[in-house]
Every structure is written in structure tokens, then in C-alpha cells.
Structure 1
Amino acid sequence: MKGKEHWFILGALLAAVLLALILRAVPPGAFPATIVEGCRFVGDIFKLALKMLIVPLIVTSVIAGIAGLGGMEGFGRLGGKTIGFYALSSLLAILVGLVLVNLIRPGLEDGKPSKVLQTAFRETQETAGEAEKNRVSQAMGNSDRKASDLRDLFKKMFPENIFAAATDNGQLLGVITFSLLFGIAITKLPGAQSQSLVDFFQASNEVMVIITRWVMATAPVGIFALIVPVIFDTGLELFAKMATYFMTVLASLGFHFFITLPALLFVLGRVNPFKHFGAMKTALLMAFSTSSSSATLPVTLRSVQDNSGVSKRTASFTLPLGATVNMDGTALYECVAVIFVAQVMGISLGFGEQFVVVVSALLTSVGVAGIPSASLVAILLILKSSNIPNAEAAAFAILAVDRPLDMCRTAVNVFGDSCAAVVVARSEGEELPQLALKKNAA
């Protein structure tokens, strides 16, 4: 299925919609109820498999990413610039998404949570009743937040029992914090000790990526099983209600792709953004088609070196690192998705809670494997950390429109990596005449 994942997933989505509509058209009792219930069972297995990956995938990827930096030759100046640019661009991407989702409010209809989407985001009547209670007690627009909210956030970053925190939905931010500290501490160990731990966590992360690929290989079946009950309950109205959310994500990605990143190229790199767009067109098309920044890496390297003129030294350092830790589009998407779900469920997120979302999106985007739909794992983590009810059902309902968004955000991720290579190259004194602002520039 390699290279054709999106067609299989889109096919599964269309088949699920068709089956659900057929079942809805049949009079009650005229078809076996086990069809829908069987889909629910298969969908539950798929969800459990993904949830199983959350903690080990995030822990191994964050530790391996941070610890691995310490062993890179010439990391000091070049690494500092690269990481600095990636942190800046990811933060800007998240803020763009945060502003637009709060302005557009795609989860609301006439100022109230969408009933159709709430139905799709609920797994059972019992959890729906609990969500309704949460909606009433925390109605949209309620800004009465205690000053302790932000203090509680920082307390959650430092759990007294890291193993208990790994199993506590509200303490996953502490697991990420511990992983960051653990990774940094590894770089301070003597050479042999440090390298053995780096090798261990990098190998462990590779194992988790392989397992993630196995689980995602079943995505067409899982998505089919998940979407059938959702469409059976809501009909095609779900897609109409998701249209505003879909456009909000696209608008956010488009703003970052066409405004934020070109502005960084112009201001920090002093190059022509339009010329760089032209230089990267092949890599961007590859990223859009495969939805995998890792699979696109060879094309990205060739485009940045041959078309943009970045040296092999700079490109070979910044781009592989970016394919691992820099996920502008993914971080933006995670932020918009979580705020959208909160709006649908009638949860008003104050400054403290939205700060949690921003920090979590920034950190988990580092740990997201560069493979199709892997950000679903991170979205589950952030939703659970934010204590949003029906988090699992909501995350999987979003899959109904996820695939085209996944293709778009991967293109943003790859373009962000290439922008970092150009900006760092310019800061290192490379001329890059192919991207010169003036036509006759040397």
C-alpha cells in the first residue's frame, strides 16, 4: 500500500459513507443490527491500538530527538540557529491557528455548540449526558477563570510519580516535560554513556515508528469501521457541519504557508520567497501526494541544494533534523482541532487551558512521526491533557475530513524545513544567487 495510502483511505471513507447511507435508508429492523455494532467493535480495536502508542511513541521520540542533538558534529552554532528557527516558525504557526479558530469558531452554530457534531463526538448516551452537563456548567463565553489555572498547569508539568502520570490523562504534559529533561541530561553524560543511551532511545523510537506504521496500515479498515456508525447516526449532515472546520484549518495553513514563512524568508534570509516557491515545487508536490515528510526528504534535499543553492553541509544538517522535529503544519492542525472539539463540546477554554494546548501542540509536534495521519496520536494526547469529554470519539470523528488536510499540512511541514535551510544558510554567509532579491544580484 506504500505510496497509495491516501487512495485506500479515501476509498474506505467513501465506502463507509455509502454503506451507512444504505443502512439509514432501510426500514428499522430490516437489517441486522450487528452490522453497525460490528463496525463499532472493529473501530474500538483500531482506537485502542492507537491509544496504546501514545506514551511510548512520545517518550522515545522526544528523548531520542533531544539527546541525538548532542552528538551531532558542529551542533553548537548551526544547531542553535536551526532549532531557534524551528521553534519560532512552529510557535507562529500555532498562534495563527489559535487566532483563526477563535475568530471563526467553527464548532459553533449561532453562538451555540453544533448538535450534529456533538452527536458525532459522543460514543454512548451515557457519555453524551455527561458531556451535556459539562456544556451547561461551562457554557461558551464563560470567562470566569481562577488565577490558579496557570499555576495548576505548571504543577502538572512536574508530577511526583512519572509512571502514574503516564497512565493519567491529565498528567501527560508531565511525561513530555520529563522526557525533555531526560533527553537534555543524556547530552551531559560522558561520551560512552551518552552514546549508549542515545542509541537505545533512537532504536526504541525506530521500533515505535515501525509499530505505528503497522497500525496505520490498518487505517483504511479502521476508518471504515469508525465512520459507518457516525454517518449512520448523523447522515451527510456531518460533512456539511465539518465544512467550516475544514476551511478554518485550510485558511490557517494557507496563511502560514503564503504569509508567515515567506515573511521569515524575506526578513531573516533576505531572499526572494517567490523564487524559493519555484525551487521547491517538486518537493511540495511529493509531500502533498505522500503525506509523509520522511518519504519526501530525498526530494527536499535535492531541491534545496540544486534549485535554491544551499550548501550540502547546511542542507544535510537542517533538513533531516527538520523532518524529525519540525512540524509547523502539524502543530497548527493540532491546535485548531483541539479548540474546535472544545467548542463543539461546549467547553470554554480560558488562557491557562489554551496555553496548555499551545505548549502541548509545540512539544508533541516534535514527537510526531513523519508518516501519514500520525498526528492523530498527538491530538488524542492533547485532548486528554485538556480534560475535554468524549476526546476519543471526537478525535476519530475528525478523521472524516482528515486526509486532504493531512496532505496540505505535510506540504507546509516540508516547506517550513526548506525555509529553515535557506535562513540558516544565509546566516552562515552563503550567497544563494538563485534566490537573490534583485535579478542581477551576484
Structure 2
Amino acid sequence: MQKALFILAALIIGLICGMLLPGGSDGVIKGAEFVGALWLNGLRMTIIPLVVSLLIVGIVQTAVMAKAGRMTFRAIATMIAILWASAAMAALFTPALLALFPLPADAAAALQSALSTAQEPGPVPSILEFFRDIVPANPVAAAANDAILPLIIFTLAFAFAVTRLPEKKRSTIADFFAAISEAMLILVQWVLALAPVGVFALALVVGARAGAQSFVGLAHYVLIVVAVGTVIYLASFLLALLGAKRSPLAFFRASIPAQAVAISTQSSLASLPAMVQGVKAMGVGERSADVVLPISVALFRATGPCMNLAVAIYVAHLMGIEITTSAMIAGIVAAAITTMGAVSLPGSVSFITSIAPINIAMGLPVEPLVLLLAIEAFPDIMRTLANVTMDMAVTGTVARFEGDLAEGETS
């Protein structure tokens, strides 16, 4: 949280300093652009190896857990279904929300001008080309060319193939990629240690070119993304009603302690003890509470697909880029799959490693994510709140179907 506050402070100070720059400061702006681009390149170089290694480790771990028993398999299947539904919901709800409440025209024009140096969006294939190219002829070339979706498909297939190996060989490959992901995370932490410098430099450029409109854009972004996350929060009450047969009021009372911890810590792991007590208050048995909830915290992040895809869609809205059908499909697939490999990461790391692949898959620039990273502390409150609440709803639902839920209030 302290690191997030430093990055947020760098953003605000950079924007203000940019707004206060006198005329004829082109040299300062170009210098800031150079520093910001250098830092962003350092961050981008970690994305492909980190996403691939995390996805392989995540799939292998998920497959091993799914073999542990019927309850575990049912829990994981439920979570995967929710992840895909979450991504699909964002693809429908976010554009509709932006159509009703668009970014003010003045702010949009100012920010597009300020971000005019962002990398041009990649080519977006037609529907036929999309499905033809989704299986890469050369996965190494796909990685080199930032063809992220074909690379994800290959990685997914490779990870499932690894799960069919004998235990010793499977463990060897999983340990190898786990070591790569750990090394890459160390490298990412080094790059993020310089985040205040990189964010300050890029914010100074935006502040100089967009002025006060930059604050309008950032505030609008927070409201839109939080609204998308709120849908998942409300959906957890619906799941509790239909799946666990608990009324919204009863479910809310049981989840209040966990929600309070989630808001104050922004950590699902820190909320786990309160979640355990909450589901037991709902009537969930020891077996489900001790099995399903830890799996949820380890593998499941319900808001990941919807809020990550919402960020990518917002970038397109911000930059005035039209999202084609094939690009949206690519975003849904990337959002649903990459979430499975990023659950255990710190928020600032998962923001880049989860959303940058979605942007690349959709042919959108990555540069605006740096400014949005700086204010992620605000949407992250809703992320954690909705994730914790959905974890409890899933646990109650699985417990009911496993016969491990006591009779309780249903209306």
C-alpha cells in the first residue's frame, strides 16, 4: 500500500508540474518522454516470459488440485465458469456504460493529444483471420511479434500436456517454470522500484499537454472500472441466493467481517480467516470451509477478467480506437485465461502482467496503462471487496451441492 501511495503521489506531482511548466519547455518534455519510455520498455520486456511461466504453473497447479476429489473439481469448475462469465459481462457492460457516460469530449481530445506518442495499435484481423491464426505455426515467432493470444493458446495446450506427464517429469517442468516466474518477479520488482520516476516523467508530459483535463480523465476511469467491478459484487449475492439458498440480507450479515478486512487491507489472503468464520456462520461445514475457500484464494479472482478487460476497453475509448468483434473476442479470451496465472501476484504486478497482454491481444497501446497503474489503489478496493464476497458465495454454493450446508434463511 505504501508503494502504491508513492506511485500515486508521483502521478499527482508529475501532472501538476507539467501543468505549471512555462512555454518553451519542449526540451524538458522530450527528456521526460525519454525517461518514461525507457522505464516502460523495462516493464514491457518482462511481460511475455512472466505471463507464459505463470500460466503454465497456474494450469498445472489447478489440474493437480482438480484431481484431489469431487468437491475440489466442482469448486474449480465453478470458478472457471465464473471467470469466463466475468469476461463476457465486461465485453457487454463496459461499452454500454461508456456509451451512456462517455469521457467528456474536451478531456478525451486533450488526453489523446497528450498520449499521441503512444505506440500505434497493432493490426486487427477479420473474424476468419482471427480463428485461422489463433493456433500459432511458430510459438517463438508469436512471442517475438507480440502475438499474445496465439502464444497464450500454445501455452495453455502445453500446460495441459504437462499435466498428463508422470509426476516426476511434471514436477520437473513445473519447478522449472516456477523458478523462471520467481526470477522474473524479482526483475519486475526492480523495475517497479523505479515506478515513481517513470510515472512522474510520463505524468509530467501528460500534464503539460492535457492540463487539468488529465484529472477529469482519471476520475472518469476510476468510476467506470469500479462500476464494472460492482456488477461482480452484486452477482455474488445472486449466486448466494440461487446456489447457496441464502437471502441477500443473511449473506450480507455473514460477509460483513470479511468485507471490512478486504476494504482495509486490499488483500484476499488477509481476509481468509474472516471468510472462514463468515461461511461457517452461513451454515457451511468444516470440510467445505477448509477446502473450497483456500482454493478460491489461491486460484480464483472473480473481478480479474471483467475489470482487466474494462481497463483495456477504457484505453480504446480514451484513445478513440474502435474495437472490432474479433478484437473483443481476443480480449475476452486473454482476460479469462491470464487471470488464472496472476492470482497470487501483488496488485501493481498483476495490473501490468494481466492487462498488458489483453491490450496487445486487442491491438491497443500499452502506454496509457502506466498512468492508470498509478491510481489502481482506488479500483483495487472494489476488486478485493468483490473477490472476497464471491469467494464466500462460491463456497456456499459448492457446499450445498456437496450436502455440506446446513438449513438456513432463504428469504
Q: TM-score, normalised by structure 1?
A: 0.81
**Paired residue for 2:368?**
394
Contact 1:97–1:332 (Cα < 8 Å) also in 2? yes
Q: Tell me, yes or no, if the aligned pair for 1:113 and 1:344 is still in contact at 8 Å.
A: no
Does the CA-based 8 Å contact 1:122-1:393 persist in structure 2? no
8 Å Cα contact 2:305/2:339 also seen in 1: yes
Aligned partner of 2:55 in structure 1 is 62
Among 19, 22, 27, the alignment partner of 1:21 is 19
**Is 1:233 paired with 2:209?**
yes
Query: Does 2:110 align with 1:116?
Result: yes
- Does residue 437 (structure 1) correspond to residue 392 (structure 2)? The answer is no
The one-letter code of the counterpart of 2:254 is A
Pick one of 121, 127, 138 that aligns with 1:150: 127
CA contact (8 A) 2:18 2:208 kept: yes
Alpha-carbon distance between aligned partners in 2 of 1:286 and 1:220, rounded to the nearest angstrom: 28
- Could you tell me how far apart the structure 2 residues matched to 1:297 and 1:153 are? 41
Aligned residue runs from structure 1 range 357-436, under 5 A: 357-368=331-342, 369-373=344-348, 374-388=350-364, 391-399=365-373, 401-432=375-406, 436=408
Aligned length: 408
Q: Residue 114 of structure 1 aligns to which amino acid in structure 2?
A: A
CA distances 1:210-255 after superposition (whole Å, capped 9, x unpaired): 4434433443333222212111110111221344433222222112
Distance apart, 1:421 and its partner CA: 1.9
Match of 1:142 in 2: none
Shift of the 110–292 alpha-carbon distance from structure 1 to 2, 3 Å rule, reads closer
How far off its partner does 1:432 sit? 4.3
Residue pairs, 1:246-265, within 5 angstroms? 246-258=222-234, 260-265=235-240
- Residue 141 of structure 1 aligns with which residue? none
Using the alignment, how far apart are the partners of 2:201 and 2:292 within structure 1?
40
Asked if residue 168 in structure 1 is aligned to residue 145 in structure 2, the reply is yes
For 1:359 and 1:123, locate their aligned partners in 2 and report how far apart those are by CA, in whole Å.
28
Q: Which amino acid aligns with 2:370?
A: F
TM-aligned CA deviation for residue 162 of structure 1: 0.7
Residue 304 of structure 1: how far off its partner (Å) = 4.5
- What residue identity is the alignment partner of 2:145? D
Gaps of 5+ in 2: none
Q: 1:82 is aligned with what amino acid?
A: A
1 CA distance for matches of 2:67 and 2:171?
16
Asked if 1 retains the 8 angstrom alpha-carbon contact of 2:276 and 2:289, the reply is no
Which SS does the other structure have where 2:65 is aligned? coil
2:246 match: secondary structure: coil
| CA–CA separation in structure 2 for the residues paired with 1:272 and 1:10 | 39
How far has the Cα of 1:306 moved from its partner? Answer: 5.2
**RMSD between aligned alpha carbons?**
3.1
Structure 2 CA distance for aligned equivalents of residues 235 and 400 of structure 1: 17
Aligned equivalents of 2:390 and 2:186: distance in 1? 25
* Map 1:69-218 → 2, pairs under 5 A: 69-72=62-65, 75-105=68-98, 114-123=108-117, 149-169=126-146, 171-218=147-194
Task: Evaluate the alpha carbon distance shift between residue 149 and residue 167 of structure 1 in structure 2; reply closer, same or farther with a 3 A threshold.
Answer: same
Give per-residue Cα distances to partners, 1:373-399, cap 9 Å, x unaligned. Answer: 2222222212122223xx022222333
* Amino acid paired to 1:118: Q
Counterpart residue type for residue 44 of structure 1: A
C-alpha distance in 2 between matches for 1:64 and 1:317: 20
The equivalences for 1:295-306 within 5 A come to 295-296=269-270, 298-299=272-273, 302-304=276-278
In structure 2, what is the Cα distance between the partners aligned to 1:204 and 1:272? 45
Q: 1:176 & 1:318 partners in 2: Cα distance?
A: 27
Task: State the identity %.
Answer: 27
Unaligned 5+ residue runs, structure 1? 139-144
TM-score by length of 2: 0.87
d(CA) in 1 for partners of 2:398 and 2:191? Answer: 36
What's the secondary structure of 2:304's corresponding residue?
A: helix
